[in-house]
Amino acid sequence: MKKLLCLLLAVATVLALSVVPAMADAVEINMFIPSPEYADAVNELIAAYKEVAPDVTINYETTQNDYPTLLKSRINAGTTPDIFGTTSGKEIADYAEYSYNFAGSPAAEAMDPAVAAMMVYGDGEIHGFALKGNYFGLLYNKAIFDEVGLEFPRTLNDFEAACEKLAEAGYQPVTTGFAEWWVFKHVMQHFLDAATDDPAALVAAFQAGEAHIKDYPVLYDNFFRFIDLCVKYGGNKPLETDLAGEVSAFGTGKAAMVIGQGPWVEADVLAIDDAMQIGFAGYPVTDDPAKSQVIAGSDQALRINKDSANLEAVMDFVNWWYTSEYGKNWFCDVAGVIPPITGAKMADMQIIKQGSELAAADGAAALSICYSSDSFNQAMGEAIQAYIGGSLDKDACCAQIEAKWVELDGNK
* All domains in the chain, ordered by first residue: 9-131+300-343 (3.40.190.10), 138-293+373-409 (3.40.190.10)
| 257: enclosing H helix or E strand | strand 255-258
Tens-place pLDDT, residues 106-152 = 999 999 988 898 899 999 999 999 998 889 999 999 999 999 999 99
What is the pLDDT at residue 11? 39
Lowest mean pLDDT among 13-17, 139-143, 341-345: 13-17
Q: How confident is the model at residue 21 (pLDDT cuts 50, 70, 90)?
A: very low
Contact assessment for residue 366 and residue 193, using Cβ atoms and an 8 Å cutoff: yes
Angstrom CA distances, 225 to 229, 274, 284, 291, 408, stand at: 6, 34, 11, 16, 26
Instruction: Compute CA 386 distance to the chain's CA centroid, rounded to the nearest angstrom.
Output: 24
Contact assessment for residue 230 and residue 257, using Cβ atoms and an 8 Å cutoff: no
Q: How confident is the model at residue 24 (pLDDT cuts 50, 70, 90)?
A: low
- pLDDT above 50 (res 98): yes
Q: How confident is the model at residue 412 (pLDDT cuts 50, 70, 90)?
A: low
| 139: enclosing H helix or E strand | strand 138-141
Look at residues 395, 355, 369 and name the one whose alpha carbon lies nearest to residue 190.
369
Phi and psi, residue 175, nearest 5°:
-115, 140
Contact assessment for residue 364 and residue 283, using Cβ atoms and an 8 Å cutoff: no
| 387: enclosing H helix or E strand | helix 374-389
3-state helix, strand, coil in the chain (%, to 5): 55, 15, 30
Instruction: Quickly list H helices, 196-341.
Output: 199-207, 217, 224-233, 243-251, 266-272, 311-323, 325-330
What is the pLDDT at residue 299? 86
* Alpha carbon distance 72, 69 (integer Å): 5
Q: How confident is the model at residue 374 (pLDDT cuts 50, 70, 90)?
A: confident
* Alpha carbon distance 209, 222 (integer Å): 22
Rounding to the nearest 10 degrees, give the CA dihedral for residues 63, 306, 86, 213: 140
Q: How confident is the model at residue 19 (pLDDT cuts 50, 70, 90)?
A: very low
Residue 352: partners with Cβ closer than 8 Å, 6 or more residues away: 135, 263, 338, 346
Look at residues 98, 133, 70, 78 and name the one whose alpha carbon lies nearest to residue 378.
70
Mean pLDDT computed over every residue of the chain:
91
Phi and psi, residue 377, nearest 5°:
-60, -35
Tens-place pLDDT, residues 271-314 = 999 999 999 999 999 999 999 999 988 888 999 999 999 999 99
Q: How confident is the model at residue 185 (pLDDT cuts 50, 70, 90)?
A: very high
What is the pLDDT at residue 9? 41
* Alpha carbon distance 278, 65 (integer Å): 27
Higher pLDDT pick, 112 / 15: 112
* Alpha carbon distance 70, 24 (integer Å): 32
- pLDDT above 70 (res 13): no
DSSP state for residue 334 in the 8-state scheme: I
Tens-place pLDDT, residues 234-275 = 988 999 999 999 999 999 999 999 999 999 899 899 999 999
- pLDDT above 50 (res 327): yes
